[in-house]
């Protein structure tokens, strides 16, 4: 990364017997020399001295917007990315074998997982992404002007424009049903009225003439759109309970959604272990009052006031899932039938386990979510969860 410090960057070293991962600062001149065509040029990178094989004559370059959908890690500002290939790829393979970390370095069953964890912050032990065989990927920050935070309401769109030289750029909102352009001369918040609501398939473009400076898809259902919350987009729109429920049911069970016909009892560990699994992962929701066919709305049997049922259910979660994650129980009426939704937030103090109320001797049981099912957690999975949630992982760096 050249020209700006990535979010949450820290100098860090993971040392192993056969390889090392380093996040460190270096001068642009040293980086340029290391990526030159001269083979075996040595340079200091953090506490290590490294030798490069020399670069190929051609370099691939592309512009990337802020919060690029498939970029890992995602950056809040646009960059120009240069991919430098080595002149010789014949000896450019990672060591194959178990990596046992020294000191604060985590251990991994194979190096691909270590590579993803260090460079992308992804500690999952599954996935198709493999280490790059390129000599270097250099991202140069383009900070003239970029799109910052976005706030969408029913009547207006508020966009914060940031940058070092914002004068004379245009902010364009474009969608299927409308287009609006506003001139921007200083950094700050721009308000665009939405008399007919946010247009479908909406995009934001920051541009000057025919040159784009930054862009972002802000349509929640578009395939071009990633996690809006992580991309600084806040949506504050009126909620239609029926539409919310119907959308949940139509999406089907998955890593963050499960259906149950009845509320759990103290002995119903199948439901409660899913609560712990959601807290150990990315959070999730359990919808109560849906048949096992995942389509038919049966509703919850109302043998007592719904407020009492909700309170008893909340107390059961607090008594069985330890530590207790942040959760909320919402009540809906769909076609006259009572529906509860338990929303579990990603936990900040893992691991979250299932305990037996009143038992002091039995150890907690831990669970994780894989696809649409809940499984007992393995020791390496628990370790990865703790490292990820407590920030003990490699993050993006000035140079790696």
Domains of the chain by residue range? 12-141, 146-236, 241-389
Q: How confident is the model over 370-377, as a mean pLDDT?
A: 90
pLDDT-above-90 percentage for the chain: 38
121 against 328, higher pLDDT: 328
pLDDT at 203: 92
Per the DSSP assignment, residues forming a β-bridge with 366 are 353
Is residue 319 pLDDT above 80, yes or no? yes
Distance CA 276, CA 350 (A): 10
Distance CA 191, CA 149 (A): 12
pLDDT at 130: 64
- Return mean pLDDT, the chain: 84
- Name the phi and psi angles at 245, rounded to 5: -65, -45
- Name the phi and psi angles at 383, rounded to 5: -60, -45
255 against 386, higher pLDDT: 255
CA 230 to chain centre: 7
> pLDDT-derived band of residue 398, with 50, 70 and 90 as boundaries?
very low
Is residue 394 pLDDT above 50, yes or no? no
**CATH number of the 241-389 domain:** 3.30.950.30
Q: How confident is the model over 118-125, as a mean pLDDT?
A: 78
Rg (CA), the chain: 25
343 against 397, higher pLDDT: 343
336: left (phi over 0), alpha (psi -120 to 50) or beta: left
Is residue 344 pLDDT above 60, yes or no? yes
At 44-95, the pLDDT tens digits run 888 888 877 778 888 889 999 998 877 777 889 999 999 888 887 666 666 6
**What's the CATH architecture for 146-236?**
Sandwich (2.60)
Distance CA 308, CA 378 (A): 37
Distance CA 24, CA 158 (A): 37
pLDDT at 187: 94
Distance CA 278, CA 321 (A): 11
pLDDT at 229: 77
- Name the phi and psi angles at 281, rounded to 5: -110, -130
Distance CA 302, CA 231 (A): 41
At 157-207, the pLDDT tens digits run 999 999 999 999 999 999 888 889 999 999 999 999 988 888 888 999 999
Is residue 135 pLDDT above 60, yes or no? yes
pLDDT at 126: 60
Distance CA 14, CA 21 (A): 5
Distance CA 206, CA 63 (A): 14
pLDDT at 110: 84
Distance CA 215, CA 211 (A): 11
pLDDT at 358: 62
- Name the phi and psi angles at 136, rounded to 5: -160, 150
Residue 272 DSSP SS3: helix
pLDDT at 326: 92
Residue 196 DSSP SS3: coil
127 against 138, higher pLDDT: 138
pLDDT at 69: 75
Q: How confident is the model over 272-285, as a mean pLDDT?
A: 92
Is residue 390 pLDDT above 70, yes or no? no
Number of H helices, E strands in the chain: 6, 23
Distance CA 66, CA 146 (A): 7
Is residue 147 pLDDT above 50, yes or no? yes
Is residue 245 pLDDT above 80, yes or no? no
Bridging pattern class, strands 211-217 and 178-184: unpaired
At 205-219, the pLDDT tens digits run 999 999 999 999 888
Is residue 146 pLDDT above 50, yes or no? yes
pLDDT at 239: 61
């Amino acid at each position: 990364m050249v020209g700006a410090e990535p979010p949450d960057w820290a100098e860090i070293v993971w040392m192993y017997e056969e390889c090392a991962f380093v996040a460190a600062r270096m001068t642009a001149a040293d980086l340029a020399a290391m990526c030159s065509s001269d083979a075996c040029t040595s340079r200091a990178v953090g506490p290590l001295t490294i030798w490069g094989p020399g670069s190929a004559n051609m370099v691939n370059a592309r512009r990337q917007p802020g919060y690029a959908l498939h970029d890992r890690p995602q950056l809040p500002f646009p960059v120009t990315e240069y991919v430098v290939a080595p002149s010789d790829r014949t000896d450019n393979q990672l060591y194959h074998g178990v990596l046992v970390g020294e000191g604060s370095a985590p251990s991994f069953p194979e190096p691909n997982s270590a590579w993803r964890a260090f460079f992308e912050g992804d500690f999952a032990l599954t996935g198709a992404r493999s280490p790059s065989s390129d000599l270097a990927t250099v991202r140069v920050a383009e900070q003239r002007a970029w799109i910052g935070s976005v706030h969408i309401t029913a009547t207006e769109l508020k966009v914060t424009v940031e940058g070092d030289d914002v004068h004379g750029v245009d902010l364009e909102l474009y969608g299927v049903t409308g287009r609006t352009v506003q001139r921007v001369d200083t950094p700050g918040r721009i308000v665009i009225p939405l008399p007919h609501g946010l247009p479908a398939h909406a995009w934001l473009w920051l541009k000057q003439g025919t040159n784009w400076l930054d862009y972002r898809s802000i349509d929640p259902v578009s395939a071009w759109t990633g996690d809006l919350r992580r991309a600084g987009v806040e949506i504050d729109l009126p909620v239609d309970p029926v539409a919310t429920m119907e959308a949940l049911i139509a999406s089907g069970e998955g890593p963050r959604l499960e259906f149950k016909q009845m509320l759990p009892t103290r002995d119903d560990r199948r439901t409660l272990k899913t609560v712990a699994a959601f807290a150990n992962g990315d959070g999730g929701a359990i919808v109560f009052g849906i048949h096992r066919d995942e389509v038919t709305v049966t509703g919850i049997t109302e043998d007592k006031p719904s407020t009492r049922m909700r309170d008893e259910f909340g107390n059961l979660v607090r008594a069985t899932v330890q530590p207790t994650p942040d959760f909320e129980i919402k009540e809906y009426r769909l076609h006259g039938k009572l529906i509860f939704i338990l929303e579990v937030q990603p936990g900040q103090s893992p691991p979250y386990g299932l305990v037996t109320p009143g038992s002091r001797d039995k150890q907690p049981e831990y669970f994780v979510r894989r696809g649409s099912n809940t499984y007992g957690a393995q020791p390496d999975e628990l370790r990865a969860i703790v490292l990820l949630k407590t920030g003990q992982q490699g993050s993006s760096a000035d140079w790696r």
